[in-house]
Amino acid sequence: MQAFRIHTGLVAPLDRENVDTDAIIPKQFLKSIKKSGFGPNLFDEWRYLDHGEPGQDPASRKRNPDFVLNQPRYQGASVLVTRKNFGCGSSREHAPWALDQYGFRAIIAPSYADIFFNNCFKNGLLPIVLPEHEVSRLFDEVNAFVGYKLTIDLDRQVVQRPGGEVIPFDVQPFRKFCLLNGFDDIGLTLRHADKIRAFEAERLLQKPWLAQRV
């Protein structure tokens, strides 16, 4: 998992409440058994005017010119600002995969659905919770200034505006530790690989029949 420390990125505003995971990555794209390739279908039903299916070439499809991520000024955005209850609906890990693979490193919203919130941290995506008035102010600034960027410093737990003003945010210490070091659940376990191997070796000495195969 990619570590998150300090990130400066272009901000895209998604001015919608209660964005569910089926909107983030529609159900037909969950058929893939791979953990990659979901970025082109992020917000698929909003980004395109035609119905999408797995395996289609995005270049051959009709884009919705009114959707925010299709607007030239937001190309290359890596910070998403959105409204409350982002990521609600079914508990699909594909949603943070799609956001991450599109290029987003952080999301800023007043609130999130619990399962989506947890899945973001497990996949290297930082979901930041800010008060609604701060989020509304960010929307105003993003809309007013082309090329609006924010700097997110996880170690200091602040979002820094272009003028230098910082907004503090909270993050649970264990989640912060994992993101700063790029540890997903497997990475956390592999920190103890030597102890695991030693335990397995000792166990086989004591119970050698466990190594037998039928």
Domain ranges of the chain: 6-183
Q: Which positions of the chain have pLDDT values less than 70? A: 33, 187, 189-193, 213-214
Q: From CA 106, how far away is CA 28, in angstroms rounded?
A: 25
Q: How far is CA 122 from CA 16, 104, 207, in A?
A: 24, 15, 36
pLDDT at 184: 77
Q: What CATH number belongs to 6-183? A: 3.20.19.10
pLDDT at 195: 74
What digits encode the pLDDT tens for the residues 8-44? 999 999 999 999 999 999 999 988 767 889 999 999 9
pLDDT at 209: 77
pLDDT at 32: 74
What is the distance of C-alpha 134 from the center of its chain? Answer: 21
